[in-house]
Structure 1
Amino acid sequence: MADLLAVRGLKSGYGQAVVVQGVDLTLEAGHSLALLGRNGTGKTTLLNSLIGVTRRHAGTIALDGVDLTALASHRRAAAGIGWVPQERNIFKSLTVDENLTAVARPGPWTVQRAYEMFPRLAERRANLGNQLSGGEQQMLAVARALVLNPKLLLLDEPLEGLAPIIVQELLASIARVVRDEGMSAIIVEQNPRLILPITSRAVVLDRGAVVHEGASAELLADRERLDRWLAVAQH
């Protein structure tokens, strides 16, 4: 199967600072990737580079055979990248319904289907974005990305700072999207034990470079590597 995403020799960062150090990365359609690493290892910068909001120093990025390397971020989104940044980027002055209908594109993920995925949002469809809890805002951010019907979904720490019950609810929804529905996705997450069970592949970054790439299940079972790269407590 041809690669949906192909990143070759990518060096990127902010200004003159190079954070991502020559990354090669591929992802097949229908597969999901856990992007792991300690704080400050370049995970968010790599996602930001895929969407086009960093400075590229070298390398290429292609999505579904289309060269994105020189495209502005809005054109990358139009080419099929859905992005949920840490800041969520919902329209806080619009209702939940307006947030979704304003960006929806034709495809299998309709606004109604997003409401079925997130019943909390359906209940609050007339509420403004700034009237939602943090967990509900994160659900709305994910729903907004889904109704774009992207080819590739990027999630940057979608579970960060949420109450445990919301984490489990959102994690179940993400698992359904990427594992059961076959949405291609790259997910940045601090807790590998949460995200490795629902993804097919894993990449670990250290100092902006790939230090491990392989099956998620194999990394989850390798306690020594988890502790070395990610400082995961042993249980």
Structure 2
Amino acid sequence: MAELLNVENLSAGYGEAVVLHEVSLRLDEGQTLALLGRNGTGKTTFMNTLAGATRQHAGRITLGGQALNRLKPHERAAAGIGWVPQERNIFKSLTVHENLTAVARPGPWTPERAYQMFPRLAERQGNLGTQLSGGEQQMLAVARALVLNPRLLLLDEPLEGLAPIIVEELLRAIRAITRDEGLSAIIVEQHPQAILAISDVAVVLDHGTVVHRDSAQALSDQPGLLDQLLGVARR
């Protein structure tokens, strides 16, 4: 498989505060990477850095061979980054359909195709963002990233705080987007087993550095090691 993302010796943070320290990883076309770690280990900072929302102190990021280091967030979106941050950042004063058409770029993912992936959104096209439930807002945030027609989808804790039935719906959609459609993705999640099941590669961060990398299957098959890496105490 051809390499899509290459991160080399990345150090980044907020202002003068450095959160990530010499992080290196790569991802091939069509692969999904599960980015794991305890709270406060740098996972969100890494995603924000790929999207251009932090200060990069050192290192290099390339997407499909294109250097992203000096690009602004909107330029990274044009280069192929589709970002779904923890805050979702949908336009709450716009309707569902307006949220999608306002950012859509040419490509296979159209608003109509997004509605097929998320039927709940199709039913609520005319609803304002403020009229959606938390789960529907998350679906809209994912759909909005898809209609950018990205090469790499960044999902930062997409299941956080959602009802179990919505979690299952979103997991099915994410699996379809990555497995069936072949869209590359990096997923940060506090439910590791759920994400490892639909990922190819697993990387664990601790104190802003990579402390473990393996296939997702290999890490899923070692629950004791996974608990140790994530600081989970067994009773």
1:33-87, Cα deviation, whole Å (9 max, x unpaired)? 0000000000000001111111111000000010111111111111010000001
| 1:30-179 correspondence runs (5 A) | 30-179=30-179
Counterpart for residue 205 of structure 1: 205
1:127-184, Cα deviation, whole Å (9 max, x unpaired)? 0011000000000000000011000000000000001111111111001111111100
Amino acid at match of 1:196: L
Question: How far off is 1:233 after superposition?
Answer: 6.4
Question: How far off is 1:2 after superposition?
Answer: 3.0
Whether 2:16 is the aligned partner of 1:16: answer yes
Amino acid at match of 1:81: I
Question: How far off is 1:105 after superposition?
Answer: 1.1
Question: How far off is 1:110 after superposition?
Answer: 1.1
Q: Which runs of 5+ in 2 are unaligned?
A: none
Q: Which runs of 5+ in 1 are unaligned?
A: none
Amino acid at match of 1:32: T
TM-score of the pair, normalised by structure 2: 0.98
Between 225-234 and 204-213, report the one with greater CA deviation: 225-234
Question: How far off is 1:234 after superposition?
Answer: 5.6
Contact 1:8/1:23 (<8 A) preserved: yes
Q: How many residues are treated as equivalent by the alignment?
A: 235
Q: SS at 1:204's partner residue?
A: strand
Contact 1:223/1:234 (<8 A) preserved: no
Question: How far off is 1:108 after superposition?
Answer: 1.1
1:88-141, Cα deviation, whole Å (9 max, x unpaired)? 010000000110111111111111110010000000000001100000000000
Q: SS at 1:198's partner residue?
A: coil
Q: Give, in whole Å, the separation in 2 of the partners of 1:183 and 1:232.
A: 31
Q: Give, in whole Å, the separation in 2 of the partners of 1:170 and 1:55.
A: 31
Amino acid at match of 1:150: P
Amino acid at match of 2:100: L
Counterpart for residue 222 of structure 2: 222
Amino acid at match of 1:42: G
Percent identity at matched positions? Answer: 69
Question: How far off is 1:232 after superposition?
Answer: 4.4
Amino acid at match of 2:21: Q
Amino acid at match of 1:47: M
What's the Cα RMSD here? Answer: 1.1
TM-score of the pair, normalised by structure 1: 0.98
Q: Give, in whole Å, the separation in 1 of the partners of 2:205 and 2:148.
A: 29
Q: Give, in whole Å, the separation in 2 of the partners of 1:208 and 1:172.
A: 30
Question: How far off is 1:231 after superposition?
Answer: 3.5
